[in-house]
Chains A and B, each alone.
Chain A
């Protein structure tokens, strides 16, 4: 691999290419840092499954529950996604066994590649499977979040599924089309301040081989990247580009959002709405004072649970989409151009993304901060067997002595609202001039405001 000297890289304004930094370059261009990180997460994953299966059945004292649903989830929602977009995907252990088998080696690619490398069926493309899987998990969330055995089986099933799919389909089919985490990580990656983009498209036009596309585990063609939702930040393209023409940029927040979208695909809109709806639902069930909801969510198969399931699905699949569609219809009513309604829905759904990400951040803070002590306990006694590796097994650490959690939740919700409103107005401005844009954006702004007030009421009310 040859690397051009850092001097002749051009990047747009508002972009800072991290690959330019001399101390960072070796880490980026070597395969080892990522491999080591992935090995560690895979070992952690295996440990988590074993502890989940064989450790104490008490969720709050089992490493599997604490680390998956508190530690890792908090890291994902508060750091990996908001700051790094799909950065978790670059170290996630789920696709690794399949990928290693598929490339014939761990750090080198050989001819001993396993896999049929079929194309993913056209009908199953998009976010729909991920929406479905997320909803299904939501129905069983009370048990998933509290029973170590269930968590362990889910993790085991996911990795086996990922391996299976790697052997049948090309690239990271599991990550792109099935992984429930991948779904929302992808859409929210458009908000994050990190991206991979080509530097000089002229160089790419002259390059016939398209090495970057051939080597990308995700099947992404870097030149064609319009948004960051499908790029897993593995940086393989950076390493293989013979012209060193790909950059890892720091960029402003929300950079992928704000331009009018011509797509008619509704899957991203639907996923954004499901994320909003499930934040409301989980806020009510887990953080609310209503025991009847908690017991209904827990008693799977019973009549109360069916009621809970019906309410959960109605909220996510009917009520919230209908409210959003109403807002879009109102917004488009006075429009001069008659754009297809589907396109309007898809376009306006961009405004839902900051709202959703920060609602989930607020919801995560509401249970992670008060329960932080569980993490230190679990590190000392992962199996709940009476160990005390770090001496912290029984110590209750009050991580929130000053009761800052509610303030942080409010702050997060407000940031999400502000960006959502801003985005809605900018989207309106792509169609009309400034004065009319306000009227056009008003229904969406109202939707975001009402949603925020609801979440405020649930979390700190």
Chain B
């Protein structure tokens, strides 16, 4: 018969072992799987910040957050974002068919420095002929054209009120063909287009405002409702927080973006912050600056970021088509694209 004391000791040891094992079991169960921990950039961002994978091999990631709601998406992959909730686990399995450096990023706002929350997945291939292919789009247009996206681009003349594309649509057929293609649209600012159209013979009898409506109609002809809808969703999710829901450069982070960014030291793989990050986000409703920019310049700014501000660089994140759609959407802050014909 077991002495009571030894029975007691066995019971105690068993219970303590159970407690320790329960925690240990959690540990054991997690080995072999990459757990990606998400934290606000102020708290360290993604951990790990770099992941390695092989072409064609599924990469299983378990995702959890250590502070607030985040989300996981990989730039330029057709994958819906996976929400990451604090204290809970999400899972995602990725398969890459091309080697290269992919950027993963957070898609739910997690504070002022949300956009700096990025990491890289290095996808390598055993096939030597496949190495070295970098996964980004083709060279952005502004680089091809050698445009300077950092100097200011004020328009010489601006319309008195927001031009309505519907007013100019009727006269679109009169506009010479050279103005109507995508290449013209992308390489010319609305102000430049206005000046060119103003000088054209067919526009001699038109008022300045009517020429602006023509420019608006021309701009609208280079995009479509579906693209604009997709772009609006991207804008609301990614841009509105700084640039404002109505494009006025007055988003919730506008003021902070200028001052706080300069004083914070955020250790991420993104752009370092310096004292130049002092300007507030661009105001898309300001006619002078917007109408003097060509879509190529706008695309460049979105792709590269910077400009002496806290503007993120979206090149690795969005596809080229997505960024062009976004540029198309930005014009809706300057032009009225609604379908009714205003008399």
Q: Do chains A and B touch in the complex (CB under 8 A)?
A: yes
CA–CA, A107 to B62, complex, Å? 46
Contacts of B11 in A (CB 8 A): 35-36, 39
Contacts of A61 in B (CB 8 A): 86-88
Q: In the complex, which residues 1-35 of chain B have their Cβ closer than 8 Å to any Cβ of chain A?
A: 4-5, 8-9, 11-12, 15-16, 18-20, 22-23, 26-27, 29-30
User: Which listed segment binds B: A166-174, A195-203, A379-387?
Assistant: A379-387
Q: Are A106 and B88 in contact (CB under 8 A)?
A: no
Contact with B along A417-448 (1 / 0, CB 8 A): 00000000000000000000000000000000
Interface presence of B67 (CB below 8 A)? yes
Q: Are B4 and A387 in contact (CB under 8 A)?
A: no
Name the residue on B nearest A393 (C-beta). B88
CA–CA, A56 to B85, complex, Å? 12
Name the residue on A nearest B62 (C-beta). A386
Contact of B5 among A56, A57, A106, A386 (CB under 8 A): A106
Interface presence of A60 (CB below 8 A)? yes
CA–CA, A39 to B12, complex, Å? 6
Interface presence of A42 (CB below 8 A)? yes
Q: Are B89 and A106 in contact (CB under 8 A)?
A: no
Name the residue on A nearest B89 (C-beta). A386
Contacts of A56 in B (CB 8 A): 64, 66, 86-87
Interface presence of A108 (CB below 8 A)? yes
| 7 A–B contacts from the bound complex (CB under 8 Å) | A36-B11, A39-B12, A42-B12, A54-B27, A55-B26, A60-B86, A384-B88
B8, B65, B66, B87 — which one has the most chain A CB atoms within 10 A of its CB? B87
Q: Are A106 and B86 in contact (CB under 8 A)?
A: no
Interface presence of A221 (CB below 8 A)? no
Min C-beta distance of B7 to chain A, whole Å: 8
Contacts of A47 in B (CB 8 A): 19-20, 22-23
Contacts of B65 in A (CB 8 A): 58
Q: In the complex, which residues 176-195 of chain B have their Cβ closer than 8 Å to any Cβ of chain A?
A: none
Contacts of A383 in B (CB 8 A): 23, 26
Total chain B interface residues with beta-carbon distance under 8 A? 26
Contacts of A42 in B (CB 8 A): 12, 15-16
* Chain B interface, >50% SS class: helix
CA–CA, A381 to B64, complex, Å? 13
Total chain A interface residues with beta-carbon distance under 8 A? 32
Interface presence of A394 (CB below 8 A)? yes
Known: A55-B26, A58-B67. 4 other contacts (CB 8 A): A43-B19, A58-B66, A61-B88, A386-B88
Q: Are A46 and B87 in contact (CB under 8 A)?
A: no
A-B CB proximity, top 8 nearest: A61-B87, A386-B89, A58-B87, A43-B15, A384-B87, A47-B19, A106-B8, A58-B86
Contacts of B8 in A (CB 8 A): 35, 39, 105-107
Interface presence of A62 (CB below 8 A)? yes
Q: Are A44 and B5 in contact (CB under 8 A)?
A: no
Contacts of B88 in A (CB 8 A): 61, 381, 384, 386, 393-394
A106 with B9, Cβ < 8 A, contacts A42-B15, A50-B20 known? yes
Q: Are B12 and A106 in contact (CB under 8 A)?
A: yes
Name the residue on B nearest A100 (C-beta). B12
Contacts of B67 in A (CB 8 A): 57-58
Name the residue on A nearest B65 (C-beta). A58
Interface presence of A40 (CB below 8 A)? yes
Contact with A along B52-77 (1 / 0, CB 8 A): 00000000001011110000000000
Name the residue on A nearest B3 (C-beta). A108
Contacts of A272 in B (CB 8 A): none
